[in-house]
Structure 1
Amino acid sequence: MQSENFFDRDLSWLSFNGRVLEEAGNNSVPLLERIKFLSIYSSNLDEFYRVRMPAVMALEKIHQKGADEQAASAKTAILQEITRIINEQQERFGAIFTTEIIPLLKENSIHLLYNEPIPESIREEVSDYFYTQVMAFLQPVYLSISGIKFFPENNKLYLLTVIGGVRGFNELVVINIPSDNLPRFYTVKRDNEQYVVFLDDIIKDNLSAIFKHSVIKGCYSFKITRDAELEVEDDYEGDLARKIEDQLTKRDFGLATRLLHEPGLEDGHLQLLVMALKLQHASIIQGGCYHNLKDLGSFPVKEAAMSYEKWPAIAVKAGDGSLSLFEEVEKKDIILHPPYHSYGMVLRFFNEAAVDPAVTEIYVTLYRIASDSRIGNALVSAAHNGKKVSVLVELKARFDEANNIRWAKKMKAAGVKIIYSAPSLKVHAKIALVKRKKEKRISYVGLLATGNMNETTARFYTDHILFTGHPEILREMELLFIFLGHRKKAGNPGLINFKQILVAQFNLQQRFLQLIDREIANAREGKEAVITIKMNNLEEKVLINKLYEASQAGVKIRMIVRSICCLKPGVPGLSENITVKRIVDRYLEHGRIFVFHNNGAAELYMGSADWMNRNIYRRIEVCFPVYDEAIKEQLLQLLQLQLDDNGQAVTIDQQLNNVPLPKDGKVVYSQQAIYNVLAGKQV
C-alpha cells in the first residue's frame, strides 16, 4: 500500500492531544477539570518533545543526507506540519488559559496572577515566603564567567536575568526556579478572596534581593527539553538493573530537542544563551510567560462545585463470603471494570495469595508499579510466608524505570525471584498466575488484564480485569512464565504452541489476521460480517492493510482508537466501511477489546496489545478470549454504549480532524452511561 493510505503517526498523535485541548476549552466541563486538561495537554507535549521529536529530527537528517529527494522532502514537510500544528495548539492553549480560565476563576473569587504585579495587599506575606522558603534553593549562574560549567537539566525551569553589571556592560544570569523543591503555586487568602501566585513571579518580584547592586533590565523564563531515550545494548548480559540505573542518571542530560522561552527576549541575548548552553541543534520556540504548565495538575484550589461529580467506585462481591476468592473463581469467571469498579478485588487476589496455606507459587508481570504498591508489599509478604514468588519486572517502562528498579530490589531482598526481560524486548503483558495445592490436588487461578497492576492508575484508567480458572488458558500462562524466566528472545514462533492466549512474538498477529480473514470470507459469502475493535493506538501496517482488505470485501468495521491512528477511514475504494471514533472524557480510555462477529457466534478477546509496531514486533503482549457468556454479554453492552457515544466521542475524518457527532435526539455520554449500568441505575 502507498504511504498516502496511512496517517503519519506523529501527526495523528498531535490530533489526539488537540482533542485533549478541546476539553480544556469545553465550557460544559467543570472549571477545575478544564485546568486539569490543560495540565494533561502540557504534559503530553513535553513527552512528545522528549520521545518523538528526536526520532522525527533524526529521520529528517538521514533523508536529507540520502539520495531519495522525495523521501527527504516528505520528512521535511512532516516536520514543518508538526511545528505548525504545535504552534496553533499553543496559541489556543494560551487563549483558553488567559481569556477563559483566569476570568472564570476570578468570578469565583480566585485570583490566579498571570503576568501581573503582586498586589500590595499580599506582597508582605509573599516576600516573607521568598526570604524564608524560596531563597534557600536559588543558585544564580553568571554566563559571562569564563569556564563556567552549567548544564540545564531536562524540563527544569529557569529565569534568564539581564542585569547592568558593575563593569559597564550587561550580564546574563541564569536562576533556577526550584519547583522540584517547592510547590509551583503559593496561595494567600484575604477575606473571601484567594490569590494564587506562580513561584516564578515570587522570584521575579524579589530579584533586587539577589542583585543588590545591579540594575535589572529584564527577566525571562525558559526551559530545555531533552531526548529521553535510554541506550541499552540488545546483547547486554550484565546487571541490567545497574545498566539502566546508569543510563537514568544521564537521561536528564541528553540531547536538547527544544528551547522554550518567554516572549520579549532580545535576539542578541537569545543567541548568547544558545551558544553558552550549546543549544544550536535544538528547536528554538517562543512560548508564553510560564512553562511546565503540567504543574496545573497540582493547582491548589479544591472546590467540589467546580469539579466533576464524584462517582464512588462500585464494590464487586465474590460469592457470599464463605469461600476464598480463588475458590469462587474456580467456580465461575469474574470481571472487573476499573475505575468504575473498586480495585479491591485485585488487591484481595494478591493478599489472599500471600497468606493462603494452599498457595505454593505466584507468578506475575509488573510493567508500571505504583510508588507505594500494595501489590508489591503483598508479594514481599508471600515470599516471607514461604511461597515461591516469581515476578517479571519490566525495567524499560519509560519514565517508570527508577521506581520499578526500587521495587525489584525490595522484592529481591525479601526472597522474590526477580526476572528482567531481555534488553531488546519489553514484557508488556498484564497477567498473574497463582498455583494452589490442596489434598494432593493442584489447581490454578489467573488474572488477565488490559492495564497495569497498579492501584494508582486504576483510579483514572478504564480497564478490564478477568479472573479465571479456565485450565487451558492457565496452563498456557504457566508455559509463558516458564519461557520468560529463561530471558530469551521469542525467536521461533513455534517454540510454544499457544492455542488459547494470543502472545506477541508467537501467534498474536497471525491469529488476528486469521480472524479478519474469516470475516472477509463470510462477507464474500453474503453473510453478515462485522469487526469491532477498541484500542489505544493503531499503527502496524500489516494489520491495517488487512482491515482495508476486509473493508473492500464488505466487512463493517467499527473502531474506537483513543490516540494514534494511522488508518485512514472512509476512503472510497479503500476504507469506506471503516469508521473510527475517539473518546476523551474524565477517565483515560485504556482497555483493548477485539470482537469478531463470526456469523453470529461472536468471538471476543481482550488484552494488553495495541496494534503498534512496538507491540507486535518488540514486546511480549498477551490477549485472551472471553468465554463466559454473561461476561461477554456485559462487555458487548459496554462497548455498544461507547459506539453510541455522541456526547464526548468524535469521529476522525480523512484529514485527521476531530469531528463532533450530531446531538440530535438522545445524547449518550458513554462513561456516565457505563457507570450507571454497572451501578444498577437506569440508563
Structure 2
Amino acid sequence: MKNLQKWNDRDISWLHFNGRVLEEAAKPDVPLLERLFFLSIYSSNLDEFYRVRMPVLKAIGQLEAGEEKSVAVIDTVKALVNRQQQQFGNILRQEIIPGLGREKIRLVYNEPVPEQVGAIARSYFFDVLTAYLTLIPLEHTKPVFLENNKLYMLVDLVQNNLQRRCIVNIPSDKVSRFLHTEHDGTTYVLFIDDIIRQQLPFIFKNAKINGAYNIKITRDAELNLQDEYAGDIAVKIEEEIQKRDFGLATRLLYPPDLPQPLLRTFVNAYGLQGANTTSGGYYHNLKDFLSFPVRPAHLLYPPEPPFSMVAEVSSLFDRISARDFIVHTPYCSYDAVLRFFNEAAINPEVVEVYTTMYRVARDSRIANALITAAKNGKKVTAFVELKARFDEANNIRWAKTMKAAGVKIIYSIPKLKVHAKVALVKVNRAGRLKDYGLFSTGNFNESSARIYTDHILFTAKPGLLRELELLFIFLAKRRKPLPEERSVFSTLLVAQFNLQEEFLRRMDTEIAHARKGLPAGITIKLNNLEEEVMISKLYEASCAGVHVNLIVRSICRVVPGVENLSERIKVKRIVDRYLEHGRIFLFENNGDPQVYLGSADWMNRNLYRRIEVCFPVSDPELKKELVTILQMQWEDTAAAVWVGAEAQNIPQHGNKSSFRSQTGVYLYLKEKYGK
C-alpha cells in the first residue's frame, strides 16, 4: 500500500460506514422493505454529516495550516458521496421499485401521477395539501428564508408574457410524504411532491410551466454555546435551538435536470456561494422512506419477539440482590429497566433515586416514573444533559416537567457533556440502606432500546455502587474534577478521572504478557475509534505480539494489517437489522479475562470532553456470556465486512456457510433465558 498513513481520516472512514449501510440496501437476501429502510437510514445519516461535519471541514480549510489537507479531504468526500448517491439511485430504480411492482405496490417515481389515481390525488391536493402551501417569488428584493432540510420546489414559468421564478414549499413536515391508494388490485404510492407538481397549472393560472425542480438546503447544526456564562443554561440552549435552523448553508441539493442558468440565479438570490452545490436525485429527504405507508409482513424481517428476564419475578430488587444479571437489548425485553424505575417509584422502602439522562424518549415512561417517585415522597435526583445534539429541546421539556413535580434536576456541566448511563436506588431494609444500580452502554430510552443492541447490568455489589454514589455526588458540583479528585475511583472507569489511564494500563499488561510468551489478546467492540493515544497503544500492542480484534461500527482511524505497525490488528464492521451500539472491552489477562462494558467510545470527545462510565463485569457466568456474544460477532460472515487499510469495506469471501451474528445472539439468549 503506497503512501500509507498512520491514521485514517475520520470523515472518510465515516462515509465508508454509511456506504456499508448502502450495501445492506443492495443485498437481495434482505427483505425488500428493509432494503428501502436502509436507503432511508443512509439518507438521514448523510444529512447529519452535512449539518455537523462539513462545517468543521470548511473551518479547518480556512486555517492556513489545514487548508491543503482540508481541500483534499473535501474533494475525497465529494467523490465518495457522488459515487454513493449514484449507487443509491441504482438500487432504488433498478431493484427496489421493480421489486415492489412485483408485489403489486407501485411507487410512482419521477413520472406524472397515473391517470388511474389522478382524481384521488387531485382531491388530496385540495382537501389537505393546499392548507400548508406557501408561494415565494424569487424576485423578492430580500428573499424569504428557506429552512434547514425542508423541501421546496423551484418553479420556472412564463405568466402574462413575463418570465417568473417562484418557490413552493413541499409540506412533508406537516403531512405524510406519501399518499397511498388502491386501484384494480394495485396499491399506488405517490410522493406529495408529484401531487403538487400536477396542480401547478392551478396554482399559477394562465401560465406556461417550463419546469419544476425539487431543492433542499442543509444548514450548520452547531449551537453557539459559551461554556461559561451567567444565567439559566436551559434558557440559553432554548435560545440557540431557535437559531439552529437559521445557520449557514452547507449544502444545496438540486435535481440533475435543473438548468445551470436557473441554478446560478437561485444561488445568487440566496447567497449560497459558500455551500456545496450537489446534483442529486429528483427527490430529496428520502429518509422519509422510513415512514413508507404500505408494509406487508412478508417484505419485512421476520419477528423476533423480545423475551422478559423478570416477568415471573415478584420483586426486582430481590432478584438483583440474589445475583447480577445483564439485559441485552433488543433481544431481551426492556421491561426490566422500566420496572427498575417503576418499582422505585412505588416501593415504600425506596428512599432515594439517582439517574443520568442523555437522550430522553419523547413519551418517556422512565421520566414519568421519576415524577411519580417524587410525588410519593422519594428523594429523586436526575442529571439531565441538555447538550445532547438534536435532543436538546426534548430534554429541556422533560427537565422542566420533572422539576415542576419535585425532582431535583442537575443540568449540564460547563465544558463537559455527561454521557454516562447510570442509575442508583437506595432502599431502607430494616433500618439499613441497601443500594441497587443500573450500568448501561446505551441511553435509558425505551424507544431506541427496540433497535439498538446494548447491555444493561443490574447489580447490588457494594463496591461498584459506593463508587457510583461518589459519581453522583461529584455531578452535583457541576464542574470538572480537581487534580486531587482524580484518584477517587478504583473499580469504575470514569472519563475525566481514570478511564483513559486504566485502559492504557490494561493494554500495557497485555503487552507485558505477550513479551513473556504468556496468553495475551485484546478484543474491543466500539461505535467509533478515533483517539490517537489509544490507537498508538494498540499499535504498540500489535508490535509486541498481541493479537488485537476490533469490531468498530462507524469511524475507525486505525490502519490495520501494516507490517511493523499493525500487522496483528484486524478490524470488522457489522451493519444489520439492529444498530450495533454496545461497547465491550475484553483483555485476555494471561488466561483470566477481564471484561468491561461502558458508554465510552475511544474518541477525543469521549475521553477529554465528557463524563463516561465503563464498568467491570466480574460474575463468571456473565463474563462467559459476553465473551460468547463477542465471539459470535467476530465470526459473523453475513453482516460483517473487513475494514481495510484505507478505511474501506472489504467483503468476506471464501465462506462455505453464512453466519449472521444478530440471529445467533438472539437464539443463544433465547435458549438461555427465554420461556
Q: Hey, what's the Cα distance between the residues in 1 that align with 2:281 and 2:638?
A: 32
User: Would the aligned equivalents of 1:220 and 1:262 in 2 still touch at CA under 8 Å?
Assistant: yes
Q: State the SS of the aligned residue for 1:52.
A: helix
Q: Secondary structure at the match of 2:590?
A: helix
Cα distance, 1:171 vs. partner? 1.1
Residues 546-625 of structure 1 mapped to structure 2, 5 A cutoff: 546-625=537-616
- Which residue number corresponds to residue 462 of structure 1? 453
Equivalent position of 2:330 in the other structure: 339
**Residue of structure 1 in register with 2:255 after alignment:** 262
Of 524, 533, 549, 1:533 maps to: 524
Which residue of structure 2 aligns with residue 219 of structure 1?
212
Q: Given residue 156 of structure 1, which amino acid in structure 2 is its aligned partner?
A: K
Identity of aligned residues (%): 54
Query: Partner amino acid for 2:98?
Result: P
Match of 2:266 in 1: 273
What are the Cα deviations for residues 228-275 of structure 1, in whole angstroms up to 9, with x where unaligned?
000110112310111000000000000100000112222221111111
Q: Supply the distance in 2 between the matched residues of 1:336 and 1:438 (Cα, whole angstroms).
A: 26
Q: Is contact 1:493-1:507 (8 Å) kept?
A: no
Deviations, residues 420-457 of structure 1 (Å, cap 9, x unaligned) = 12232100000000011122111100000000000000
CA contact (8 A) 2:528 2:554 kept: yes
Residue 165 (structure 1) aligns with: 159
TM-score by length of 1: 0.97
Q: Matches of residues 45-56 of structure 1 in structure 2 within 5 Å?
A: 45-56=46-57
Q: Which residue of 1 aligns with 2:230?
A: 237
Gaps in structure 1 of 5+ consecutive residues = none
* Residue identity in the other structure for 2:132: F
Task: Verify: 1:510 aligned to 2:501, yes or no.
Answer: yes
Q: Which amino acid aligns with 1:88?
A: R
Query: How far apart are the structure 1 equivalents of 2:13 and 2:483?
Result: 33
Q: Secondary structure at the match of 1:4?
A: coil
TM-score (norm 2): 0.98
Give the match for residue 656 of structure 1.
647
- How far apart are residue 681 of structure 1 and its match? 8.1
CA distance in 2, matches of 1:506, 1:120: 67
Moved more, 207-216 or 382-391: 207-216
Cα deviations by residue, 1:478-529 (Å, 9 ceiling, x for unpaired): 0110110111123426345100100000000000000000000001111121
SS at match of 1:537: coil
Q: Which residue of 1 aligns with 2:511?
A: 520
CA contact (8 A) 2:442 2:599 kept: yes
User: 2:158 corresponds to which letter in structure 1?
Assistant: G
Change (3 A) 1:133 1:598: same
Who is 1:449 aligned against?
440
Q: Distance in 2 between matches of 1:203 and 1:34?
A: 27
Q: Residues 355 and 423 of structure 2 are in contact (CA less than 8 Å); yes or no, is this contact kept in structure 1?
A: yes
* Partner Cα separation in structure 1 for residue 4 and residue 226 of structure 2: 31
User: Which residue does 1:121 correspond to in 2?
Assistant: 116
- In the alignment, which residue of structure 1 is the partner of 2:380? 389
Q: Contact 1:559 / 1:578 at 8 angstroms: preserved in 2?
A: yes
What is the match of residue 190 of structure 1?
A: 183
1:91 has 2:86 as partner = yes
1:374-397 CA-to-partner distances (Å, cap 9, x unmatched) read 101000000000000000111111
- Residues of 2 paired with 1:493 and 1:662: CA distance? 53
Matched residue, 1:110: 105
Q: Distance in 1 between matches of 2:313 and 2:528?
A: 40
Equivalent residues of 1:256, 1:279 under 8 A apart = yes
Match of residue 101 from structure 1: 96
Question: Which region of structure 1 is more displaced relative to structure 2, 506-515 or 657-666?
Answer: 657-666
| Structure 2 SS opposite 1:533 | strand
**Aligned-pair distance for 1:309?**
0.4
Instruction: Provide the secondary structure at the position in 1 that maps to 2:16.
Output: helix
C-alpha contact (below 8 Å) 2:414/2:478 kept by paired residues: no
SS in 1 for 2:413: coil
Shift of 1:185: 0.5
**Corresponding position: 1:412 with 2:403:** yes
Deviation, 1:74, is 2.1
- Counterpart CA distance in 2 for 1:242 and 1:37 is 37
SS at match of 2:147: coil
1:58 positional shift: 1.0
Instruction: Give the corresponding residue for 2:44.
Output: 43
Aligned partner of 2:423 among 407, 412, 432: 432
Q: Is the 8 A contact 1:363 1:391 kept in 2?
A: yes
What residue is the counterpart of 2:667 in the other structure?
Answer: 676
The equivalent position to 1:181 in structure 2, one of 146, 171, 174, is 174
Q: Tell me, in whole angstroms, the C-alpha distance in 1 between the residues paired with 2:265 and 2:33.
A: 40
Which moved further from structure 2: 251-260 or 492-501? 492-501
1:321 to 305, 313, 333: 313
For residues 113 and 45 of structure 1, the distance between their equivalents in structure 2, rounded to whole angstroms, comes to: 24
Q: Is residue 493–residue 505 contact of structure 1 (8 Å, CA) maintained in 2?
A: no
What is the DSSP-based 3-state SS (H/G/I as helix, E as strand, rest coil) of the residue aligned with 1:402?
helix
- 1:155 aligned onto 2:176: no
Look up the SS of the partner of 1:500 in the other structure: coil
For 1:534 and 1:636, how far apart are their aligned partners in 2? 11
Counterpart CA distance in 1 for 2:253 and 2:592 is 55
Q: Partners in 2 of 1:579 and 1:494 — Cα distance? A: 37
Against the structure 1 CA distance between its residues 663 and 432, is the aligned structure 2 distance closer, same or farther, given a 3 Å change threshold? Answer: farther
Partner of 1:479: 470
2-side partners of 1:106 and 1:666: how far apart? Answer: 32
- Equivalent pair of 2:5/2:559 in contact (CA under 8 Å): no
| Range 37-46 or range 255-264, more displaced | 255-264
CA distance in 1, matches of 2:543, 2:414: 40
Structure 2 counterpart of 1:75: 70
Query: Is residue 13–residue 648 contact of structure 2 (8 Å, CA) maintained in 1?
Result: no
Q: CA deviation at 1:169?
A: 3.2
Measured on the aligned residues, the alpha-carbon RMSD in Å equals 1.3
Contact conserved, 2:557 with 2:647, CA < 8 A, in 1? no
Shift of 1:638: 0.8
Q: Look up the SS of the partner of 1:465 in the other structure.
A: strand
- Deviation at residue 3 of structure 1 after TM alignment: 9.1
CA contact (8 A) 1:236 1:423 kept: no
Q: Show CA shifts across 1:301-351 (max 9, x none).
A: 111111100000011137x634x2112212210110010000000000000
CA contact (8 A) 2:250 2:276 kept: yes
Distance 1:559 1:229 in 2: 31
Contact 1:232 1:423 (C-alpha < 8 Å) held by counterparts: no
Partner in structure 1 of residue 291 of structure 2: 298
Per the alignment, residue 59 of structure 1 pairs with: 60
Residue pair 2:143, 2:269 contacting (<8 A) in 1 also: no
Alpha-carbon distance, 1:145 to partner: 3.1
> Is the contact made by 1:339 and 1:462 (CA closer than 8 Å) also made in structure 2?
yes
Q: Is the 8 A contact 2:442 2:454 kept in 1?
A: yes
The one-letter code matched in structure 2 to 1:409 is K
| Alpha-carbon shift at residue 127 of structure 1 (Å) | 0.3
- Separation in 2 of the partners of 1:126 and 1:186? 8
8 Å CA contact 2:324, 2:457 repeated in 1: yes
- What CA distance in whole angstroms lies between the structure 2 residues aligned with 1:559 and 1:510? 20
Query: What amino acid is the match of 1:220?
Result: Y
Structure 2: stretches of 5+ with no match in the other structure: none
